[in-house]
Structure 1
């Protein structure tokens, strides 16, 4: 199943045009393929293909790689939407998809990633509202949603993210007032709400 999901990623993102695709789809052990790390059971736990010339969409079957702890596909040219199936990646601790061309809405299923510590979707074309389910990410320390096309209000549920240290929502089209629940973020070190359409009092 790992090989099938990885082959799907390769095919969906124009793998033959990647900057580095060493050993991909070869007979070499999967753990020797470029950008992959495995645990002692030869299960892939990390995919890091940052700045590697990926073009195309993220295939839904990638979501079934449930042993993944790190998925870093930032600084590529990925298009399409974020698959809701990524909510199955329950061991994921870091998800970096920033600096791509991803569109559509942020799937509410990402709220199922209870081990997630960092979610970076900065610099894409994501639209719609911020899902209230983001408030379920109790281990989240860094949430970056800046420079997208997000609308609606900041969900009060973000105030439940008591481990949050960085919250960047700058450069969107967010409206309404800043929810008072944000005052519950006792570990917050950096908050950036610049360049939105927020109103009301602080």
Structure 2
């Protein structure tokens, strides 16, 4: 047993040293090229080692931090009439939300055991958000409390959550001014405050924002509009000839729309008509089709896709490109979609999904025809067939 342990340690140490320079390139987001069986196996082993090292560090959450996070959510539950929520499974069960087997409804956790997400849309939250809970949840990255009965002003300690990327409080009855701290939160990329009762002028920090990708403030009595900083306009879908869409593929697109909260996308031309429209004939935003009605590309980067990707995505037979980058998507990527016969490019960078959760095949096993995939800024070229040119 001891000999085997030291042998494994020596092997991993050798791998680490062998790939010292490429490892630095990964951190810098440079391309990685997997060319041979030996290199592939070593790379996968190194990735596993790095994940073990990260996991060991991330598990160092203190008991005090657990208590603070739990107490903050308990206060939220009491203040927002939690007993009347549509679902409050496991809430107030005496355990930390991220404890093994705990799983509080609508609470999402990181590998370190911290609360990183609150997803309580359409759950009948009633009342005013209590002050102090957000400052106790410093690892928060996304908050969705839309479509509830929240009233009063937003608590100012939201601005202390420096890691929040996605914040959605739309379709409530929130009053007061739009606070200026939203424009100074460096990590915030998606802000949805539409259809509330905000008044006054938009703060200068939002008018001059250089970091937000999407802002929605319509449906309020607010003066002014953001300059949108470096926000980029994305190309519309590509319409090729007089297309129609294969019915089964249209159903999958509607499933994607429903699962990723399409109603709140800032760019959803065509999608919002749902069953009344045709993705190819009416040129749904981000969708490219063939002349005979097959969907070949789904390009929806920076479009506030929020939620989990449906497993039905694995049904496309002609899909070549999936680009859902820079959206607050979480959960697991549908394993079957990696084996789509026509898929050539996958971009999931800038999401909450973990690329190492994928059950990637060993070298020599076919991975559909996927030529490259991008995740968290790293571009991976995966050679599957000798005939594939990258």
| TM-score, normalised with respect to structure 2 | 0.40
User: Which residue of structure 2 lines up, in the alignment, with residue 192 of structure 1?
Assistant: none
Which of the two has higher C-alpha Rg?
A: 2
User: Which residue of structure 2 lines up, in the alignment, with residue 54 of structure 1?
Assistant: 125
The answer to whether the 8 A contact 2:213-2:228 is kept is no
User: Which residue of structure 1 lines up, in the alignment, with residue 15 of structure 2?
Assistant: none
The answer to whether the 8 A contact 1:123-1:146 is kept is yes
The answer to whether the 8 A contact 1:115-1:137 is kept is no
Tell me which of the two structures has the higher relative contact order, counting C-alpha pairs closer than 8 angstroms and 6 or more residues apart: 1
d(CA) in 1 for partners of 2:209 and 2:113? 28
Question: Segments of 4+ in structure 1 off by > 2 A?
Answer: 135-139, 163-166
SS at match of 1:159: coil
Higher helix share: 2
SS at match of 2:158: helix
**5+ unaligned residues in a row in structure 1: which ranges?**
169-188, 190-202
User: Which residue of structure 2 lines up, in the alignment, with residue 180 of structure 1?
Assistant: none
Task: Tell me, yes or no, if structure 1 residue 117 matches structure 2 residue 189.
Answer: yes
The answer to whether the 8 A contact 1:120-1:144 is kept is yes
d(CA) in 1 for partners of 2:160 and 2:128? 18
User: Which residue of structure 2 lines up, in the alignment, with residue 77 of structure 1?
Assistant: 149
User: Which residue of structure 2 lines up, in the alignment, with residue 175 of structure 1?
Assistant: none
The answer to whether the 8 A contact 2:177-2:198 is kept is yes
The answer to whether the 8 A contact 1:114-1:138 is kept is no
Task: Tell me, yes or no, if structure 1 residue 2 matches structure 2 residue 69.
Answer: yes
TM-aligned CA deviation for residue 46 of structure 1: 0.5
| TM-score, normalised with respect to structure 1 | 0.76
Match of 1:15 among 54, 65, 82: 82
The answer to whether the 8 A contact 1:113-1:137 is kept is no
The answer to whether the 8 A contact 1:114-1:136 is kept is no
User: Which residue of structure 1 lines up, in the alignment, with residue 91 of structure 2?
Assistant: 24
User: Which residue of structure 2 lines up, in the alignment, with residue 63 of structure 1?
Assistant: 134
TM-aligned CA deviation for residue 159 of structure 1: 2.9
1:67-91 Cα shifts (integer Å, max 9, x gaps): 1000000000000001111100110
The answer to whether the 8 A contact 2:208-2:227 is kept is no
TM-aligned CA deviation for residue 109 of structure 1: 1.6
TM-aligned CA deviation for residue 164 of structure 1: 5.3
SS at match of 2:174: coil
The answer to whether the 8 A contact 1:105-1:128 is kept is yes
Compared CA separation, residues 38 and 137, structure 1 to 2 (3 A) = farther
Matches of residues 148-159 of structure 1 in structure 2 within 5 Å?
A: 148-151=220-223, 153-154=224-225, 158-159=226-227
- Name the Cα RMSD after superposition: 2.2
1:95-146 Cα shifts (integer Å, max 9, x gaps): 0000001001111122221111100001000111101111564331110000
The answer to whether the 8 A contact 1:137-1:161 is kept is yes
Matches of residues 119-138 of structure 1 in structure 2 within 5 Å?
A: 119-135=191-207, 137-138=209-210
Task: Tell me, yes or no, if structure 1 residue 103 matches structure 2 residue 175.
Answer: yes
Counting matched residue pairs gives: 166
The answer to whether the 8 A contact 1:138-1:162 is kept is yes
